Amino acid sequence: MQVCKLCRSGTDIKKSHAIADSVFKRIFRVNSGKAIAFSRDEEDVYYSSDSWWDNQLCGECEDRLNEKYERYSLQVLRAQKGVFNRSEHRLIFSDVNLHKLNMFLLSIFWRAANSGHVAYKNVVILDGDNEYLREALLSDRQVPISRISVKIERLIDKTREGGFSLKQLKDIVISPFCRIYGADKTKHISVCFVFEGFFVQVFVPGLKLKQRAAAGVIHKSQRFLSVPYLHLFDIEEVVELMVDGYCKHAEGKSNIKI
């Protein structure tokens, strides 16, 4: 019998999704049950209905994370909860519970770091942080911004012609990747996620005081969040991935019909 990675009880383990199953389901629904998949590690571009699950949690812990954080946070990100305003440079979410949103994004990071699925192979976590987050998620304890910071940006495509619409950007999920900032003592990493039309970075250790003032960094005590726009092709790692996928398709290493 497997052990639940969150509560550590030996029980019936369920399929767990780091990036929510409902994110994948929405994409599959609008694309006849499958998505276009490509990766720098694989030879071909192909259709996939893989939602990147792994056996991780017991039913109770699955429900705990879904009910406490996931359902509410996806509603916030989909502008179905709180107040949502759009300006020239950013989105503003008001009247929202940012502790829940922060924990939701940290739960994705934690589940991804503990997943055996190949899509999450780049997500790394130190043992101490892993245990700290496990306990925080289990007991709904706030995670200080100095320990782990979360930043969120809304993806847009400024390409004048033939770019992705906002709706299409929501249909892109990218296997998380890591960035390394600074050197030696100031060195820290961010794990980067793209889903639901957002670019999310989890910084471990947390951002320094000055960096925390940047738009998009979640301050849990506030009731509003300013989410700046980010041009998809300003993300270097995404450009590399897209170019690689495009080349494979152009070379005929693809069964995608466009």
Q: Nearer to Zn ion by C-beta: 137 or 238? A: 137
DSSP state at residue 60:
H
Considering the complex, what minimum distance in angstroms separates the CB of residue 144 from Zn ion? Answer: 25
Distances (CA, A) of 200 to 111, 167, 180, 230, 237: 15, 18, 15, 11, 14
Residue 210 identity: K
Question: Minimum CB separation from Zn ion for residue 38, in Å?
Answer: 34
CB-wise, 8 or 86, nearer to Zn ion? 8
Phi, then psi, of 231 in degrees rounded to 5: -70, 125
What is the smallest separation between the CB atom of 25 and Zn ion, expressed in angstroms? 23
Binding positions for Zn ion, rule: CB under 5 A: 4, 6-7, 58, 61
DSSP summary character for residue 47: E
Nearer to Zn ion (CB atom), residue 116 or residue 162: 116
44, 48, 52, 54 alpha-carbon torsion, rounded to 10°: -100
Side-chain-side CA neighbours of 225 within 13 Å: the count stands at 27
Q: Which is nearer to Zn ion, 11 or 48 (CB)?
A: 11
Provide the token pair at 105: 């994004």
**Between residues 64 and 81, which has the closer beta carbon with respect to Zn ion?**
64
- The distance of closest approach from Cβ of residue 204 to Zn ion in the complex, given in angstroms and rounded to an integer, is 24
Shortest separation between residue 111's beta carbon and Zn ion, angstroms: 12
Six token digits for residue 122: 């780049």
- In angstroms, give the least distance from the CB of 160 to Zn ion: 50
Whichever of 105 and 137 has its CB closer to Zn ion, that residue is: 137
Please say which residue, 7 or 215, places its beta carbon nearer to Zn ion: 7
Answer yes or no: are the C-beta atoms of 122 and 239 closer than 8 Å.
no
Give the nearest distance from C-beta 240 to Zn ion in angstroms.
Answer: 38
Task: Identify the DSSP state of 69.
Answer: I
Long-range contacts, stretch 168-173, CB < 8 angstroms, 24+ apart = 169/197, 169/232, 170/26, 170/196, 170/197, 171/26, 171/27, 171/30, 171/31, 171/35, 172/197, 172/232, 173/19, 173/23, 173/24, 173/27, 173/35
